[in-house]
């Protein structure tokens, strides 16, 4: 994982990958992760999170995911409310598609009547909670682990292109969002973490060594370390 220190051009909210595969990633970002973008971290204090979700079950699962992050962000307190008014606005509106989130404070640049995070509706509680955990990581400023500059994935590129390319996700996008590591010189690197909740699930066929990376559904030790580095105690003792 790593921290990005310089200002970047603002990325829009994350776009979904095509879902015509049996086990695709939940979303494809326009920025990269291994990594947290410290330029987009929330200032210390209270962050209001508004939930505009369709069921009490969904609300409970999303709140549980937020609380898991909250244990490791001592600089932040989350004020969770129902409705559409907040710093982070989470929706499962069926008129929107995909699981995605703005990156950190890029949420401030989204119209106040629009969500800053979207979660597809599902009856699969485990899937919804793990997706919420991943997307809320983005909402805090975390990026995607599979594009860590020191990743050891050793992609089988032809297989990757075949797996991900579709009418809505072309080869250039596959290169940008899947294959290319983030090699910007201004990264502060912490170790690559294949157990990160911010890592995509990787089918075995997409790696030359034939080893799959499963979907991670809880915060890893590396996730906890990185988010605490991003949001350390205001007055550590």
pLDDT at 188: 53
Q: What is the pLDDT of residues 122-168, one digit of tens each?
A: 999 999 999 999 999 999 998 889 988 889 999 999 999 999 999 88
Question: Domain limits of the chain?
Answer: 2-230
| Three-class SS of the chain | CEEECCCCCCCCCCECCCCCCCCCCCCECCCCCCCEEHHHCCCCEEEEEEEECCCHHHHHHHHHHHHHHHCCCCCEEEEEEECCCCCEEEECCCCCCCCEECCHHHHHHCCCCCCCEECCCCCCHHHHHHHHHHHHHHHCCECCHHHCCCCCCCECHHHHHHHHCECCECHHHHHHHHHCCCCCCCEEECCCCCCCCCCCCECHHHECCCCCECCCCCCCHHHHHHHHHHCCCCCCC
CATH T-level assignment (fold) for domain 2-230: Collagenase (Catalytic Domain) (3.40.390)
Among candidates 109, 101, 49, which has minimal Cα distance to 73? 49
Mean pLDDT of 190-204: 93
CB-CB neighbours of 79 under 10 Å: 11
Q: How far is residue 79's CA from residue 186's CA, in Å, rounded to a whole number?
A: 33
Do 98 and 16 meet the contact criterion of CB atoms below 8 Å apart? yes
Beta strand 45-52 with 88-91 is parallel
pLDDT for the residue 6: 27
What percent of the chain clears pLDDT 90, i.e. is strictly above it? 70
pLDDT digits (tens, 9 = 90+) for 31-89: 333 477 777 899 999 999 999 999 999 999 999 999 999 999 999 999 999 999 999 99
What integer pLDDT is reported at residue 189 of this predicted model?
65
Structure confidence at residue 20 (pLDDT): 37
Q: Is 83 left (phi over 0), alpha (psi -120 to 50) or beta?
A: left
- Which residue bears the tokens 């939940």? 26
pLDDT at residue number 31: 37
Instruction: Name the pLDDT band for 190 (thresholds 50, 70, 90).
Output: confident
Task: Please tell me the predicted confidence (pLDDT) of residue 16.
Answer: 39
Cα Rg, the chain, nearest whole Å: 17
Joined tokens for residue 183: 């090699």
Assess contact for 233 and 75: CB atoms under 8 A.
yes
pLDDT at 33: 37
Better-scored residue on pLDDT, 227 or 235 = 227
Q: What is the pLDDT of residue 136?
A: 98
d(CA 69, CA 53): 20
Considering the entire predicted model, what is its pTM?
0.84
């Amino acid at each position: 994982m790593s921290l990005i220190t310089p200002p970047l051009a603002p990325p829009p909210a994350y776009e979904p990958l095509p879902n015509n595969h049996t086990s695709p990633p939940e979303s494809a970002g326009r920025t990269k992760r291994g990594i947290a973008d410290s330029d987009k971290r929330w200032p210390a204090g209270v962050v209001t999170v508004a939930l505009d979700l369709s069921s009490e079950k969904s609300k409970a699962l999303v709140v549980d995911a937020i609380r898991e992050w909250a244990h490791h962000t001592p600089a932040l307190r989350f004020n969770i409310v129902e409705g559409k008014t907040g710093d982070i606005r989470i929706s499962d509106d069926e008129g929107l598609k995909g699981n995605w989130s703005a990156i950190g404070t890029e949420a401030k640049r989204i119209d106040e009547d629009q969500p800053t995070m979207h979660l597809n509706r599902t009856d699969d509680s485990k899937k919804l909670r793990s997706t919420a955990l991943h997307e809320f990581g983005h909402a805090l400023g975390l990026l995607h682990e599979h594009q860590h500059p020191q990743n050891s994935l050793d992609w089988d590129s032809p297989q990757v292109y075949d797996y991900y390319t579709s009418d809505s996700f072309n080869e250039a996008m596959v290169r940008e969002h899947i294959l290319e590591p983030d090699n910007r010189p201004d990264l502060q690197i912490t170790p690559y973490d294949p157990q990160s909740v911010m890592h995509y699930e990787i089918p075995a066929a997409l790696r030359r060594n034939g080893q799959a990376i499963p979907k991670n559904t809880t915060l890893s030790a590396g996730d906890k370390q990185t988010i605490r580095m991003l949001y350390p105690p205001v007055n550590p003792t």
